[in-house]
Amino acid sequence: MKNLTFDFLKVTEQAAIASYPWVGSGDKLKADGAATNAMRDTLNQINFNGRIVIGEGELDDAPMLYIGEQVGTGFGTKVDIAVDPIEGTTSTVNGQDNAFTVIAAAPRGALLHAPDMYMEKLVVGAKAKDKVDINASLTENVHTVAKANGKNINDVKVLIQKRERHNKWIEEIRNIGAKVHLFDEGDITYAVATCIKDQEIDLFYGIGGAPEGVVAAVAVKCLNGDMQARLLPRSRKEYDRCVEMGLEYPEIALRLSDLVKSEECVFTATGITENILLDGIKTDAESNYTTHSLILNGESKQLRYVKCKHPNPHVA
């Protein structure tokens, strides 16, 4: 897996660059199509035996990077891939912050095959690892994290996406004296940031997409943090879909080891527009692009930031 890290970096860089001309365009289909094409083309140049386990959707809904699609040359290491050609498509085409492209990978069979449904997610950094419990109340977990991080409850910082479904938890956290910081888009970014010391985030909590949860879990594993989750099927069809994908009891608590079963995992992300972890793509007078990327490795627990200058592919 280590040997594939910089190949995957090229994948996210090329997808980000391909999407950049559509920043502010208002055209989500063309932005996503450009990123998806670039990601798929670059993956297929890598000498490995890749399989998409989280992608753009099922075969009937997604012509490329669909769940089950084989990518790479077909030779070498067998790898399961979770991709999001653009995390934050709306942000991209509206020229707003929090858009990036991401790929997470692990050995074959190591990633949870998460259906496209809601998932409850709880993420903490290394100091609170193995101390929280998604089955406990949010109040209990916030107090636990405060103790683990050596903070007074009034200094605890909890990140939650600004959604109506989260209002009761926002009120609960504020009522015990902890601080709530809301964000609009990009829950992968904020889940990852919880595990990076410089960000000074104590806990991430909320309900969001299950595929994004698995992508975030790879980064959390690489950063030696902790994540717990629970799938939230809203219909019999969604429940049965979980069972079909091998999740016999869909609503049980999932530990990080259930989401990502191997330390041999990698995570790469490249900024399209600004977010709290990454700079957006920059251009210069010579029409070159500069990308800013994050690379994480589960075996070494290393975090790398990479800046790279690329010739503008749209200039002859």
Cite the annotated binding site for Mn(2+) by residue number.
32, 56, 84, 87, 212
How many whole angstroms separate alpha carbon 146 and alpha carbon 209?
A: 27
86-89 CB contacts, 8 Å cutoff, 24+ apart: 86/15, 86/19, 86/31, 86/32, 86/35, 86/272, 87/186, 87/188, 87/189, 87/212, 87/269, 88/185, 88/186, 88/272, 88/273, 89/28, 89/31, 89/32
Spatial contact of 121 and 206, defined as CB atoms under 8 Å apart: yes
Residues of each annotated binding site: 32, 56, 84, 87, 212
Two structure tokens written together for 104: 């997470």
Q: Which of 216, 203, 196 is nearest to 276 (CA)?
A: 196
Side chain identity, residue 235: S
